[in-house]
Amino acid sequence: MTLSLYQTLLGAEYARLPPEQARFHALQGRHEFLGAAQVTCGRHPLARLVAVLMGLPRRDAQVPLRFELRVTAASETWVRHFGPQCMTSVLRHRDGWLVERMGLIVVHSRLQVEADCLKMHIVRARLLGLIPLPLWLMPQVRADETASGGRIFFDIQVVWAWLGLLVAYRGFLDVHALMEARD
């Protein structure tokens, strides 16, 4: 059996994930999940432009969330439908890093399990995957994921020191079916 992207990157730490997260991050093929999210967007005009370039949501909303997951041997594609807004990420691993393309930006992150929370720490970013962004230009991202009761909870915040908030979104995905499928 081939290890998933998250199993590969987390190694032994993967076993510390709650069952909902472990099953979710081990999925292969195509899946769809429903949930809800609260989206808060930055107000600065340049923050809104950066959000467009990164493919981030651009309107504040409390919305239903539809999450499409497409997993292949080479990558995972995450398509988040925040009501009418859509945000797509393509994730791969390279040299021990999670590499995520969002719009015109590619970020390299380190994954870590702290207590029962999966955390993502961005270590570098590139425009178009080619042009390195200096540390002072990189956004600060807080990305936390937890799970319980058949739900995966997420809390993401992207802030640029010189522009302020780009976007924050928090909510949940209902993954009860994953839990029932193996019980």
pLDDT tens, residue by residue, 133-148: 776 777 788 899 999 9
Taking the C-alpha atoms of residue 69 and residue 98, their distance in angstroms, rounded to an integer, is: 16
Residue type, 108: H
**pLDDT above 70 covers what percent of the chain?**
97
- 136: tokens are 């002072």
Angle (CA) 49 51 52, round 5° = 65
pLDDT tens, residue by residue, 65-86: 999 999 998 999 999 998 888 8
- pLDDT for the residue numbered 157: 93
- pLDDT for the residue numbered 41: 87
Taking the C-alpha atoms of residue 133 and residue 153, their distance in angstroms, rounded to an integer, is: 30
- Check if the beta carbon of residue 114 is closer than 8 Å to that of residue 121: no
Say what the alpha-carbon torsion angle 103, 101, 28, 11 is, to the nearest 10 degrees: -150
Mean pLDDT of 154-158: 94
Record the pTM. 0.89
